[in-house]
Structures are given as structure tokens and as C-alpha cells.
Amino acid sequence: MPDVKFEVCTENVAGVRAAEAAGAHRVELCSALAEGGVTPSLGLFRQARACSRLPIHVLVRPRAEDFCYTDLELAVMLDDVALFKEAGADGLVFGTLSRDGTLNLPQLKTLLAAANPLPVTFHRAFDVCREPLEVLEQLIALGVTRILTSGGELDALAGVPLLRQLNERAAGRLTVMAGGGVRPHNAAQIVRESGVRELHFSAQLPAPINPSRFAFGSPTFTDEASIGALIRSL
């Protein structure tokens, strides 16, 4: 099996430590994973940066739901890009779309200019784009570093056919990173059949909670053993 890089998505400092201890290559830091991930706080990033030497890429996503942003939301994203750059982020993760499923090129160009020279991952907004092969070429032309995608399916194993097409078409001009349902039992198959050389996963497990009559959310934690098992599976 060729060398594969592993990116762990986590929403807390303990998760960053677990990723490093288990041998991951990079972290995507976010908040509210149960909502698909939104921008983490600056305080969370600073503490994560202080406790780990892993590269930390920060998700810039102002809210859950779709990836079609107003001018006010774009302004929030630009402020976050500037803050995380100044704080020492190693990369940024974002994506913007128009209502017709195409890239919102004006917004994306503005964000990329603000992020420069940091590497940028276009996140799973890619999976709801129309004409993914065309979008791939657009992202390459814009200088995006990588795409995070499940191959347009609910999980990366089901999306292997498109992942393979994207990886072959990119031909090293951009990195295609598979994410979505990546587990120890299927990671090797995804890599073998798609040809991708980067995997993204969260390794989240439910955390024990104290019983309460109030519903304040369901906590999770990043499981170091699960990360290690996935890495060893290849």
C-alpha cells in the first residue's frame, strides 16, 4: 500500500492531542461536528496550536445548512480568515456555492486572495456541486490545494467511482482527499480502488454524560484508538 496521509477532523483540544498521539499527519479544527462543522473559536485554535506540532487547518464556515452565503456572511468569513492567519493556522478550509450548484466564483476568489499564501481545502460543498469534473478544473485554475469529497455519495466507499475519476483527472495538480464514512474496515479498499492518497475522518465516539432533564446536546470525543486502528489498517 503506498504512503497515505491521514487528516483528523476534531472540535476540541483533546482531539488534537489524540490525533497527534495516534500518528495522524494533520488536523482539521472546527466546532459543531454534529452540524457538519462550523468555524471554531479563536481561543480553541490558540489552545490547540499551543499543545500540538501537527499542522492545523481551520474550517471557515459561518453556519450550518447550505454553502450559499450572503455578503454579510462573506464579511464574517473574511474576518475569520484574517484572524486565523494571524494566529498561525497552517491552512484554511472553506467553500462557496451559488444557488444553481455552481461555484460562487466572486466570493471564492475573494476568500482565496485573503487566505494567500496558506493552502486551501475546498470542503464537501464539492459534493453538492453540479458538473464535478468541470468544478475540479475551475478549482485547479484558482490555485486550490485540495478537495475534500465523498465522491458525491453519502460515504466515500460508495463514491469510489467519482473519486477515481477526480484523482485521475487532477493528475497531481490538486490533491483529492476522500472523506465521509472512512473507517478501519474500508479505508484500504477506498485507497486501493480510488487511487487517493489522503483520507479524512473524525473518529468520534459518544462521550459519557451526566443525566439531566434538559437537552443541551450530545457530547462526543475523538478516540485515539480508533485513529490508530484506521492508520494501521493500511
- List the grid coordinates of 49: 496550536
Select from 203, 208, 194 the least CA-distant residue to 223: 203
Concatenate the DSSP letters of all residues of 32-57 into one string: -GGGT-BPPPHHHHHHHHHH--S-EE
SS (H, E, C) 130-175: CCHHHHHHHHHHHCCCEEEECCCCCCCCCCHHHHHHHHHHHCCCCE
Residue percentage of the chain with pLDDT more than 70: 93
Site of grid cell 476522500? 178
pLDDT in tens, 3-37: 999 999 999 999 999 999 999 999 999 999 988 99
E-only strand ranges, 163-222: 175-179, 198-201, 204-206, 220-222
pLDDT in tens, 151-163: 999 999 999 999 9
CA distances from 160 to 77, 139, 153, 174, 197 (A): 32, 20, 9, 17, 13
* Dist CA 196 CA 71 (whole Å): 35
pLDDT band at 203 (very low <50, low <70, confident <90, very high): confident
> What pTM was computed for the model?
0.94
Quote the pLDDT of residue 208.
Answer: 65
**For residue 48, how many other CB atoms are within 10 A of its CB?**
23
Q: Which domains does the chain have, with CATH numbers?
A: 5-232 (3.20.20.380)
